[in-house]
Structure 1
Amino acid sequence: MEIYDKHQHLAIHSWAEEDRPREKLLTQGRRALTDAELIAILIGSGSRNESAVELSRRILSEANHDLNELSKFTVQDLCRFKGIGEAKAITIVAALELGRRRQETPLHERKQITSSRDVFDVLKPKYSDLNNEEFWILLLNQANRVQRVHLISKGGRAGTVVDAKLVFEAALQYKATSIILSHNHPSGNLKPSEQDRVLTRKIVEGGRLLDIRVLDHLIFANHSYYSFSDEGEL
């Protein structure tokens, strides 16, 4: 029994060669693709007599199979290849330029969290001058370095509704090993409410089931903060 693609009504083994790099990327990951296959994805299609992959191999051959050489090709140089129009040439040039800029971009080491003060420093800009309540979390890796700062909810001056499922959805999506909770009190009161304590316990317990540690919960108010961990409430 043959497997058919619902869009083209062709068996998978009959797909055009230019369609295969996309499938390969989806099933095996980007690192499994050759340079020619990656370029083929950029240009999308070849010609009646030549697939996108074959065309990409021909272009690479002219660049001595050297991406640094290929990056020197202009739009006009690429347009000399049969099957490459201006739009495809611009796409290749733009992609190579992005790669060049990435090499020039310095790697910024992600902030490592070692104390509640570190959390305060990372999140303070999020809460500065807010007149409404918001709930943000830090997603951390195994080394307690910040992978992402993620907004869970926004509310009014009196509070915001926090769905614990959204907290863990974000943690799982970004493969966080641990998380830190935070919200602000526009009233200026640093003391946690009973609701704050209940929510914190709920998320801590949920984290245990998923093997995701909740390291702290900070309340921001008046340019200061309250740490559940520092106060022994976790």
Structure 2
Amino acid sequence: MFMREMAQTDKPRERLQKKGVSSLSNIELLAIILETGSKTESVVELANKVINQYLEIGELKDATLQELTQIKGIGLAKAAKVLAAVEIGKRMGQQRIIESPIIRGPQDGANLVMQEMSLLSQEHFHCFFLSTRNRLLHRETIFIGSLNSSVVHPREIFKQAMKYSAASVMCFHNHPSGDASPSPQDVTVTKRLKKVGDLLGIPLIDHIIIGNNVYTSLKQEGYF
């Protein structure tokens, strides 16, 4: 059975299009890779049978061509697609580990953003989301515009922190004037973020102001 022959509500590709890839189950994701079923099984049923051969989806990473082709309905072409998808996942994971730096302090953070943020003509509020071992999980510009408590809302920052399962947050913003001295508003925003972070158990470990090839760590300067 081809995917186009399935009932509309059973089609993983249509569900992906309507609800996003993250809404799909492991079986549906594998069904998209397999594309077609067999003479006696739909593609979803075939995907379910493949996954049932393993205790959990993660064990597919060790699957071999011989193992897969021994499953009824899985020939060389389907097995090759599965192994190719698994290998892509492995390589993406390896690359992320290699490319994700460890942020040991404000100097490490400033080194990563200085070249980019010191040239900006408008204020940008940028965040690093870090693991328990201070490895960079994700980085993102959260706000653009003059820094004030109405613009820099903790909700948006810590929503992203929870999305990436971050253990801590390091924040940055630039001063287009080139002067990295903190303003009273900078200090107010920082204290507010620290308070929310402490309540959520995702501490703000620093807020760094980027100037013209200089920076100021509000943590090191004792502002919080």
In 1: Cα distance, 2:191 partner to 2:32 partner: 48
In structure 1, the residue corresponding to 2:98 is in which secondary structure?
coil
Structure 2: any 5+ residue segments left out of the alignment? 1-7, 17-21, 54-64, 70-74
In 2: Cα distance, 1:173 partner to 1:180 partner: 16
Paired position in structure 2 for 1:164? 154
Provide, for residues 174-201 of structure 1, a one-character-per-residue CA deviation record: whole Å limited to 9, x for no partner: 1111111110000112111111110000
TM-score (norm 2): 0.67
Paired position in structure 2 for 1:40? 31
On the 8 A contact 2:123/2:174 being kept in 1, the answer is: yes
In 2: Cα distance, 1:115 partner to 1:219 partner: 14
Paired position in structure 1 for 2:86? 99
Match among 38, 41, 44 for residue 50 of structure 1: 41
Paired position in structure 1 for 2:58? none
Q: How does 1:14-93 map to 2 (within 5 A)?
A: 30=26, 39-43=30-34, 46=37, 49-52=40-43, 55=46, 64-66=66-68, 78=77
In 1: Cα distance, 2:142 partner to 2:117 partner: 14
- Please say which of residues 119-128 and 221-230 is displaced more in the overlay: 119-128
TM-score (norm 1): 0.65
- The percentage of counterpart residues that share the same residue type is 29
In structure 2, the residue corresponding to 1:137 is in which secondary structure?
strand
Shift of 1:97: 3.4
Shift of 1:100: 3.4
In structure 1, the residue corresponding to 2:219 is in which secondary structure?
coil
In 1: Cα distance, 2:87 partner to 2:162 partner: 32
Match among 221, 224, 229 for residue 214 of structure 2: 224
Matched residues, number:
187
Shift of 1:96: 4.1
Relative contact order (C-alpha < 8 Å, sep 6+): which is higher? 2
In structure 2, the residue corresponding to 1:65 is in which secondary structure?
helix
Measured at CA, do residues 53 and 117 of structure 1 come closer, stay the same or move farther in structure 2, by a change above 3 Å? Answer: same
Structure 1: any 5+ residue segments left out of the alignment? 1-6, 9-14, 68-72, 79-88
Runs of 4+ with deviation above 6 angstroms: none
In structure 2, the residue corresponding to 1:179 is in which secondary structure?
strand
